[in-house]
Structure 1
Amino acid sequence: MTGYGILIGFLAFGAGFGLAYWVRQQLDAQNESAARNEAGRLLQDAARRSESLLREAEVEAKDRLFKMKSEFDAETAEIRSELKRQEQRLIQKEENLERKHDQNEQKEQDLQAQEQKFQIREEAFAKRSEELDELIQKQHSELEKISGLTSEQAREILIRSMENDARYEGAKLVKRIMSEAQEEADKEAKRILATAIQRFSGDFVAERTVSVVPLPSDEMKGRIIGREGRNIRALEAATGIDLIIDDTPEAVILSGFNPVRREVARLSLTRLIADGRIHPARIEDVVKAVEEEVEQTIKEAGEQAAFDLGVHGIHPELIKVLGRLKFRTSYAQNVLQHSVEVGFLCGIMAAELGLNVKLAKRMGLLHDLGKAVDHEVEGPHALIGSRLAKKFGEAATVVQAIAAHHEDIPPESVYDLLVQAADSLSGARPGARKELLENYVKRLEDLETIACSFKGVANSYAIQAGRELRVIVESDKISDEESVLLSRDIARKIEESLTFPGQIRVTVIRETRAVGYANK
């Protein structure tokens, strides 16, 4: 029973499997048929769509070809019209060229005709010139026979006569031009200088070149000298200044070339006298402290001078050099005070002339920088100062003005002349400077000697403290016109030969005297 059941089970399984396989085959056959039908339908749709696309592409291609043809036709028509226009222009140009060619041919014919006429005239002129040369030669020969002079001698006489006439006429012209220019220049210069002097009225303090220290009593001289002179030697060694202790009551004289050192020595000695403790160690301490104070004073003096003029941006080292001018004098005139005064005058005159006022003040303030170091460096103080200003970054115009204010180099701008004028004005005004009597008398003698060295001068007189030179000439040797030239020549020789502040007026006097006698 059991084996029979198993067999039945196998048979049932086989029948089920076969049935399932058959069902699967049927389903596959149906699916394949449906797929084939769907594929056929898709192919038909694709064929229809491709035909439609082909028709649309064909229509679009025809449209584009039509448009391209239309555009090509339009461009072709435009090109043809442009070619026609160019062709017309070329034809017109060709016609114009033909007309010009005809005109040029006509002008060439006219020029040839004129050239022939000119050749004929030139031949006639050449022939006439030869005839004239022959006539002139004959006349020269006749004139030489009549006058008894050769042509070279006659030419020399004629040239000399023309030269005298030209010199006479030139002197008259120079006199007239100088008179007119002098009138205008004097008016304007006097106005500018008067304005500058009126607007600046600075105080002036003259300092002596020898410092004197007062003593409370003559007993202090012995304490200053010290035992075996050790105190005075220590003071002289520390300051570099000679102390002169003589019979002058209650005073010690300080003598030294360097004014800054002399000031240090004066202040140091004053403090030592006031303190009463005078010995070498104390001297060294006081001198060192005073040197620092003097350096500070120098710096403050330079800064104050720049501040008074409103000049800014000066290098600190230049400020120190400028401050050292406080202890320098020129003909007893304080150089720092003189520099400030020149700066003010330059600024005022620059304002009157419409120039840069600040630049002019800067030039005037720095123009005498070289006087602070000229005992240490060789050369004129103007060139020393210009090199110093250039070293510390001053502008080229400022350097030029400093170098040219005494004409060590030629002036190049109106600012250079302003500094010269202000410098002369500050130094030449009455009471500004002091000169030795010998130098003063020598300058007067030199002025008169220079004037008398010229031909035709009878006498010369230096008057007004050497500010004016009166020259009396012989009327039979010097004419009125030649007197103008003589005054200029004398003034030029004075400028070349002498050194002087300000200006010197040269006046040439010519007079004619007629004397008659009445007798009975």
Structure 2
Amino acid sequence: MDIVSIIIGLLIGIGVGAAVVFFGLKKAIEKRNADIIEEAKAEAEVIKKDKILQAKEKFLQLKEEHEKVISERERKMSDGENRIKQKENTYNQRLNEVNKKDKEVQAIKENLDKQLEIVQRKQEDLEKDRRRQVEQLETIAGLSAEDAKAQLVEALKAEAKTEAMSYIKDIVDEAKINANKDAKKIVVQTIQRVATEQAIENSVSVFNIESDELKGRIIGREGRNIRALEAATGVEIIVDDTPEAIILSCFDPIRRECARLALHQLISDGRIHPARIEEVVAKTMKQLEEEIIDTGKKTCIDLGIHGLHPELIRMVGRMKYRSSYGQNLLQHSREVANLCATMASELGLNAKVAKRAGLLHDIGKVPDDEPELPHAILGMKLAEKYKEKPEVCNAIGAHHDEIEMTSLISPIVQVCDAVSGARPGARREIVESYINRIKELESLGMSHNGVTKAYAIQAGRELRVIVESEKISDLEADTLSFDIAQKIQTEMTYPGQVKVTVIREKRAVNYAK
């Protein structure tokens, strides 16, 4: 018991000491905290005063800048007001001057009105005197003023026309003497260095088959195969009694060629039915389009023409399936390109540009659509669209004189186009249109006064006109030849050129009996 009591007493003593120590530490901590708080308050007060000072300095700085801005604005406003006042003073001065001049003009106008009235009265008096003198002259001459004027005009017109024709004849003769030799040399050399085969235009193609038994398979049950083929290609297929042959008729050579190739593939394959026909025609059209592009590329490579737009290359390829008056358009364009290059070289011009213009001069004949435009104008617009040179575009548009020529390449293309189309065997015409052209040529010659007979010879390349010697003089014969040639040139369409020969002769006939 004594030991327990002792232990309990020790524990109580230790607890009391710990409590005394705890309370002492607590008081020390509280005092330390109070000191820290006091220090923090002092520092906060110092920071607060610094911030207030900084804010005051910033405020003063901003206030100073604001005052500067306001003073600058006030200065500008003052300058603006001064300028406005100056302008106002200037305007007032000018207004005063205008008012002063207006008064002066008004005074001058009144003075002019008075003088105009005086002049009008004098003109009326002069007109009366002139009429009186004209009446006296008409009475003396027995001829009215209008009749005398008409006679004088006719006399002057005839005299001027005669002198003009004389001058024109001298100038033309001199030009022929100087230029004919060189021009012939250039043209002959150009033609000699270029040649191409003749071409024939057809609107039908003949498709040969091995036997007539295939005709029934091509027609199909109740004609469904031939109807499907015609609907897919747009070509009329004629199956008649012609042995081992089927006729394909269409104005479009591309569609006709597509039908021929598709028919060949169907017969080779042996399967002929509407679904197969549509499949083969679509495939054939795609192959034909690729062949057209290859033809255009090959043509450009053969001619040495580079940098052509892909769409223009495709149009060049389409020329292979187009013809004009029996002349294949691609062969014609190649020939014109070579002629242009040769002639441009002879004349010292750019042969590459001339060859390019010669190849593209007829691209207006092979567009994807059919606009209502002449092919020369359409070709020029296509060339402009695909960024061709201005010289090339002008040569394309002017080769039928539908626009004005602006470069020397243009007349070269026009001449070479005429040379290619006018050479023997290059083109053919329908007999009816040829006869109509000959009749029109002779009628045009007979439409002039003093002409007794007119004959178109050499297939319409020459017109011989026989005139009455009593009515037409030698000088008037030159004038008549020139007038007929100009009229043919403006009113008719023809390949090459037409020579006009006026024949005037005097025949004296007597009989010895």
TM-score, length-scaled by structure 1: 0.68
Q: Distance in 1 between matches of 2:433 and 2:371?
A: 26
Cα deviation code 1:219-244 (max 9, x no counterpart): 10100011222211222222222211
Q: CA, structure 1 residues 249+157, in 2 after alignment: closer, same or farther (shift >3 Å)? A: closer
Q: Distance in 2 between matches of 1:363 and 1:355?
A: 13
Q: Distance in 1 between matches of 2:279 and 2:296?
A: 26
1:471 aligns with 2:465: yes
For these two proteins, the number of residue pairs brought into alignment is: 377
Q: Distance in 2 between matches of 1:410 and 1:183?
A: 28
Q: CA, structure 1 residues 375+444, in 2 after alignment: closer, same or farther (shift >3 Å)? A: farther
> 1:87-166 alignment to 2 at 5 Å?
164-166=158-160
Question: Structure 1: any 5+ residue segments left out of the alignment?
Answer: 1-142
Structure 1 range deviating more: 426-435 or 474-483: 474-483
> Match for residue 483 of structure 2?
489
> Match for residue 243 of structure 2?
249
Does the CA contact (< 8 Å) of 1:236 and 1:243 recur in 2? yes
Letter in 2 for 1:350: A
Q: Distance in 2 between matches of 1:185 and 1:200?
A: 23
Cα deviation code 1:146-193 (max 9, x no counterpart): 999999999987776665444434333322222222233332222111
Q: Distance in 1 between matches of 2:199 and 2:158?
A: 56
Q: Distance in 2 between matches of 1:242 and 1:161?
A: 67
> Match for residue 371 of structure 2?
377
Does the CA contact (< 8 Å) of 2:336 and 2:359 recur in 1? yes
Q: CA, structure 1 residues 466+374, in 2 after alignment: closer, same or farther (shift >3 Å)? A: farther
> 1:340-379 alignment to 2 at 5 Å?
340-373=334-367, 376-379=370-373
> 1:23-422 alignment to 2 at 5 Å?
164-373=158-367, 376-422=370-416
Cα deviation code 1:449-483 (max 9, x no counterpart): 00111111111100000011111111222222222
Cα deviation code 1:392-432 (max 9, x no counterpart): 11112211111111122233332221111111111111111
Q: CA, structure 1 residues 495+144, in 2 after alignment: closer, same or farther (shift >3 Å)? A: closer
Q: Distance in 2 between matches of 1:272 and 1:152?
A: 84
Does the CA contact (< 8 Å) of 1:175 and 1:481 recur in 2? no
> Match for residue 452 of structure 1?
446
Q: Report runs of 4+ in structure 1 exceeding 4 Å deviation.
A: 143-166, 516-519
Q: Distance in 1 between matches of 2:297 and 2:401?
A: 28
Letter in 1 for 2:287: E
Letter in 1 for 2:414: Q
Q: CA, structure 1 residues 166+409, in 2 after alignment: closer, same or farther (shift >3 Å)? A: closer
Structure exhibiting the larger radius of gyration computed from Cα positions: 1
Q: CA, structure 1 residues 155+276, in 2 after alignment: closer, same or farther (shift >3 Å)? A: closer
Q: Distance in 2 between matches of 1:265 and 1:504?
A: 42
Q: Distance in 1 between matches of 2:370 and 2:139?
A: 78
Q: Give the Å deviation of 1:282.
A: 2.4
Q: Distance in 2 between matches of 1:153 and 1:311?
A: 67
Q: Give the Å deviation of 1:328.
A: 0.6
Does the CA contact (< 8 Å) of 2:468 and 2:504 recur in 1? yes
Q: CA, structure 1 residues 316+151, in 2 after alignment: closer, same or farther (shift >3 Å)? A: closer
SS at match of 2:372: coil
Sequence identity, in percent?
56
SS at match of 2:463: strand
Q: Distance in 2 between matches of 1:434 and 1:237?
A: 32
Q: CA, structure 1 residues 170+268, in 2 after alignment: closer, same or farther (shift >3 Å)? A: same
SS at match of 2:452: strand
Q: Give the Å deviation of 1:276.
A: 1.9
SS at match of 1:465: coil
Letter in 1 for 2:466: I
Does the CA contact (< 8 Å) of 2:438 and 2:456 recur in 1? yes
Letter in 1 for 2:383: A
* Equivalent of residue 512 in structure 1, options 481, 506, 509: 506
| CA-based RMSD | 2.6
Does the CA contact (< 8 Å) of 2:391 and 2:406 recur in 1? no
Structure 1 range deviating more: 382-391 or 423-432: 382-391
Structure 1 range deviating more: 505-514 or 420-429: 505-514
Q: Distance in 2 between matches of 1:365 and 1:449?
A: 37
Q: CA, structure 1 residues 359+516, in 2 after alignment: closer, same or farther (shift >3 Å)? A: same
Question: Structure 2: any 5+ residue segments left out of the alignment?
Answer: 1-136
Q: Give the Å deviation of 1:289.
A: 2.3
Letter in 1 for 2:183: A
Q: Distance in 2 between matches of 1:421 and 1:316?
A: 28
Q: CA, structure 1 residues 165+390, in 2 after alignment: closer, same or farther (shift >3 Å)? A: closer
Structure 1 range deviating more: 384-393 or 331-340: 384-393
Letter in 2 for 1:171: M
